[in-house]
């Protein structure tokens, strides 16, 4: 994982809406996060959105957030809301 000392990591808390459940969005997000060496988690919400947290190198976090704007080819993303937060020092990525 990337360094957390010196504030080098970035954390993005993301909400994705549209047709994003039942299309393997969470599993593709996990695959992309692992490919980019980004930590965090992703889960479905009862209202049909997907919620995710990404932590790691700022450029890689921006890349996965950009990926969320389209998601897997089976998804139809309508909106992505992103809030920057203080990193917690997560060291893995999980589907919740």
**50 close to 44: Cβ distance less than 8 angstroms:** yes
d(CA 55, CA 11): 4
User: Is 26 among the residues known to form the active site?
Assistant: yes
Question: Which one is catalytic: 11, 26, 49, 60?
Answer: 26
Residue 62 annotated among the catalytic residues of the structure: no
Active-site residue, from 44, 49, 60, 96: 44
- Residues belonging to the active site: 26, 44
């Amino acid at each position: 994982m990337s360094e957390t000392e010196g504030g080098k990591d970035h954390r993005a808390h993301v909400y994705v809406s549209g047709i994003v459940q039942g299309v393997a969005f969470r599993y593709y997000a996990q695959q992309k996060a692992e490919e980019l060496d980004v930590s965090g988690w992703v889960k479905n919400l009862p209202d049909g959105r997907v919620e995710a947290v990404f932590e790691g190198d700022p450029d890689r976090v921006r890349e996965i957030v950009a990926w969320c704007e389209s998601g897997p080819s089976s998804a139809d993303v309508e909106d992505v809301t992103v809030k920057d937060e203080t990193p917690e020092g997560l060291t893995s990525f999980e589907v919740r």
